[in-house]
Chain A
Amino acid sequence: MKTIEEIKAAIEAAVPGAKVEIVPNPSPSTQHSLRLAPGHAPAVARFLRDDADLALDYLSNVTGVDWLDKQIAERVKVVRQVNKTVDGVEQTVEETVEETRPRVDPGYLEAVYHLYSVAKKYGPVALRMRTVNRTDQVELPSLTPIWRSAEFQEREIFDLYGIVFTGHPDLRRLLMWDGFKDHPMRRDYREPDDFEYEPTPHDDVLKRAQARQTAVVSQPGTSQQGSVAGA
């Protein structure tokens, strides 16, 4: 059983350029975790699995976490020019004033991996990766090629959180249906009034239905029957 500091040192010695940061866990569980830079994550993961000392061959749990933008009110010391009357003469004096300024900590999505070692019987070692933001840069490298157990769990995160795992061989929605648009586990998700409401086709809905109809007719290969015969 190695401490988290030893694992960090081992990673940095073995994978050149890998940035690893220890995320302390203040709760009584004291399960600290390692934050990886997404670029090096597959190399680090491969090292953790294959290294004879660490032998973290079993990926137990993969999960996503959504961290929203945070409004933080900061107290900042500011130097200001103030007009003051000193000794009966009006002067411009520099004065240090404390000010409250709102700052927005940008949110991000996080993937957490809990590793154990079946060979050495220890764990958990938690790995974390962050996306750049919550909207358009949500790619993370998939660890499914290294631990197969991530296959369904990463699909679930893609489904419910919207993290796109690059290198995942079969990244589809897992629990929600294919036509579903949003990511329900996000903190700011609001469910529609009625999931199954389908109005009588008119306007937009009618256009969409017609477009789908023409697409199917013009490409007969996309129907199920055609594919089976062709395969």
Chain B
Amino acid sequence: MSILQNDSTTVAEKPEGWNRPALIKPSGDGELLEVAMGPHHPSTHGVFRMDVALDGERVIRLRPVFGYLHRNHEKIAEGISYLASMPYTDRLDYICPITNNWAYALAVEKLIGQEVPERAEYLRVILGELTRFQNHASSLGFLIQEMGASGTPLMYAFREREKILDLFEELTGARMMVNYMRFGGCRVDASPAWLEHTRKVVAGLGGFVDEFERLLATNEILMARTQGVGILKSELAVNAGVTGPMLRASGVNYDVRKVDGYGIYNRFNFRVPLGDHGDVYDRFMIRLLEMRESIKIIEEALKDIPGGPIMDPKAKIRGFRPKPGEAYGRIEAPKGELGFYLISDGGPNPYRYRVRPPSLINLTVLEDMCLGHDIADVVLIFGSVDIVLGEVDR
């Protein structure tokens, strides 16, 4: 159906307090054009479609269309045991499998009241922050790529990402589908050689961030293309449930690592970078600054990591039946707040298994940010949201 026809936000139907953007009136000179950007558009990070209505080059309406990668992850998880879903969480946000594992492990640990040994917590933090680093690096690389800087920045970012993926492979046996965490710890222990290798890699990451910043942050074209584009106000960001770097770029100080202090995050000394304007440039800079903070956290964790077991010896990782009840566990994934909501009816499988996907919910405000901008800016704004379709469509 045409998205211009399907306008359900006329004034008469507006519920009280309804917080949609004021839609733009067509200028009236010339024809309107509807473009389906995607699902096979090079800038869509997968199979995502935006139905865009254009007045000249200006966007006057935008509707995201989902579901091309839908495989009903939640339904599948309800039919298998708790442990059996762990490898499948890797496939949600396949850029950051470790944090998906972590969020799921955290929710199940809340449900069954499981403690995690010290060393496993440190390993989780190290791997989680490495994941954040490589996610931010590659998402910035893609963002610059979509701006037209073909190749170089993306390849720089992927060079660092490969180093981190090598670390994952060395530890877990897989570059991306790591299946690393268990309820009550981690699957395999890190050897001293791995920790030494990690120290070496992390020592080089700071140089990459400096280089990336020098190369791009004050680049005239980048500033012209991104500053003042896709502004997201802080009130709308909170109301629309936007999380992660996008929320902080709008100036809202909310980081689940600080607020919940899950795991052992309250032991680490790191800052939460905040933006002023909430535009694409701020989102770019916030990710850059968060990469620096991640390096600080990893270095601190590598220094303090204790010995000891990586699994609670009393923990049952398979074949357990949680008492009836429910739990919502969430972490600060690189893309935003990743939550898992589990209901147990006392059986070996979850009665309800829900993923709160940050990528999907961050797209709620895509139309608000794009209205009035040119079609070329839509690609940038969309890139600055940083989504992965495996998580959006689940």
Report the bound CA distance from A46 to B394 in whole Å.
31
Asked if A214 lies at the interface with its beta carbon under 8 angstroms from chain B, I say no
B-side contacts of A149, CB under 8 Å: 239-242, 361, 364
Taking CB as reference atom, which chain A residue is nearest B9?
A169
Asked if A47 lies at the interface with its beta carbon under 8 angstroms from chain B, I say no
Asked if A63 lies at the interface with its beta carbon under 8 angstroms from chain B, I say yes
Asked if A52 lies at the interface with its beta carbon under 8 angstroms from chain B, I say no
Report the bound CA distance from A121 to B260 in whole Å.
9
Count of chain A to chain B residue pairs whose CB atoms are closer than 8 Å in the complex: 152
Question: Looking at A27, A167, A177, A228, which has the most chain B CB atoms within 10 Å of its CB?
Answer: A27
Asked if A31 lies at the interface with its beta carbon under 8 angstroms from chain B, I say yes
A185 touches B31 (CB 8 A): no
Q: Which residues of A, 25-79, contact B by the 8 Å Cβ criterion?
A: 25-29, 31, 46, 57-61, 63, 65
Out of A58, A148, A175, A224, name the residue touching B19 (CB < 8 Å): A148
State the Cβ distance, B3 to closest chain A Cβ, in Å: 9
Out of B2, B72, B254, B364, name the residue touching A148 (CB < 8 Å): B364
B-side contacts of A13, CB under 8 Å: none
Out of B20, B72, B356, name the residue touching A61 (CB < 8 Å): B356
Taking CB as reference atom, which chain A residue is nearest B360?
A152
A174 touches B66 (CB 8 A): yes
Out of A25, A145, A160, A229, name the residue touching B18 (CB < 8 Å): A145
B326 touches A29 (CB 8 A): yes
Taking CB as reference atom, which chain B residue is nearest A33?
B326
A-side contacts of B318, CB under 8 Å: none
Asked if B206 lies at the interface with its beta carbon under 8 angstroms from chain A, I say no
B330 touches A60 (CB 8 A): yes
Report the bound CA distance from A11 to B8 in whole Å.
32
A28 touches B240 (CB 8 A): no
B-side contacts of A169, CB under 8 Å: 8-9, 13-15, 18, 20
As a 0/1 sequence over residues 113 to 136 of chain A, the CB contacts with chain B under 8 angstroms (1 = contact) are 010001001001010000000000
B352 touches A65 (CB 8 A): yes
Asked if B5 lies at the interface with its beta carbon under 8 angstroms from chain A, I say yes
Out of B17, B33, B112, B113, name the residue touching A46 (CB < 8 Å): B17
Out of A25, A153, A176, A228, name the residue touching B32 (CB < 8 Å): A228
State the Cβ distance, B390 to closest chain A Cβ, in Å: 13
Q: Which of B138-146, B271-279, B283-291, B336-344 lies at the binding interface?
A: B336-344
Asked if B324 lies at the interface with its beta carbon under 8 angstroms from chain A, I say yes
Asked if B296 lies at the interface with its beta carbon under 8 angstroms from chain A, I say no
Report the bound CA distance from A173 to B351 in whole Å.
23
As a 0/1 sequence over residues 207 to 231 of chain A, the CB contacts with chain B under 8 angstroms (1 = contact) are 0000000000000000010011101
Q: Which residues of B, 90-142, contact A by the 8 Å Cβ criterion?
A: 110-113
B-side contacts of A146, CB under 8 Å: 17
Q: Which residues of A, 92-149, contact B by the 8 Å Cβ criterion?
A: 112, 114, 118, 121, 124, 126, 145-149
Asked if B41 lies at the interface with its beta carbon under 8 angstroms from chain A, I say no
As a 0/1 sequence over residues 311 to 348 of chain B, the CB contacts with chain A under 8 angstroms (1 = contact) are 00000000000111111111000000101010110000
Asked if B236 lies at the interface with its beta carbon under 8 angstroms from chain A, I say yes
A184 touches B18 (CB 8 A): no
State the Cβ distance, A92 to closest chain B Cβ, in Å: 46
A61 touches B344 (CB 8 A): no
Report the bound CA distance from A167 to B20 in whole Å.
14
Given the contacts A60-B330, A228-B32, A26 and B324 also touching, CB distance less than 8 Å: yes
Taking CB as reference atom, which chain A residue is nearest B327?
A29
A31 touches B326 (CB 8 A): yes
Asked if A182 lies at the interface with its beta carbon under 8 angstroms from chain B, I say no
A27 touches B31 (CB 8 A): no
Report the bound CA distance from A124 to B354 in whole Å.
16
Asked if B62 lies at the interface with its beta carbon under 8 angstroms from chain A, I say no
Out of A121, A148, A175, A185, name the residue touching B67 (CB < 8 Å): A175
A148 touches B239 (CB 8 A): yes
- 9 closest pairs, A vs B, by CB? A27-B325, A149-B241, A28-B113, A29-B327, A148-B240, A175-B67, A227-B2, A61-B356, A29-B110
Q: What 14 additional pairs, Cβ within 8 angstroms, besides A150-B241, A224-B34, A227-B2?
A: A25-B327, A27-B112, A28-B112, A112-B341, A147-B240, A148-B19, A148-B364, A149-B239, A149-B240, A167-B15, A174-B66, A184-B72, A227-B4, A231-B4
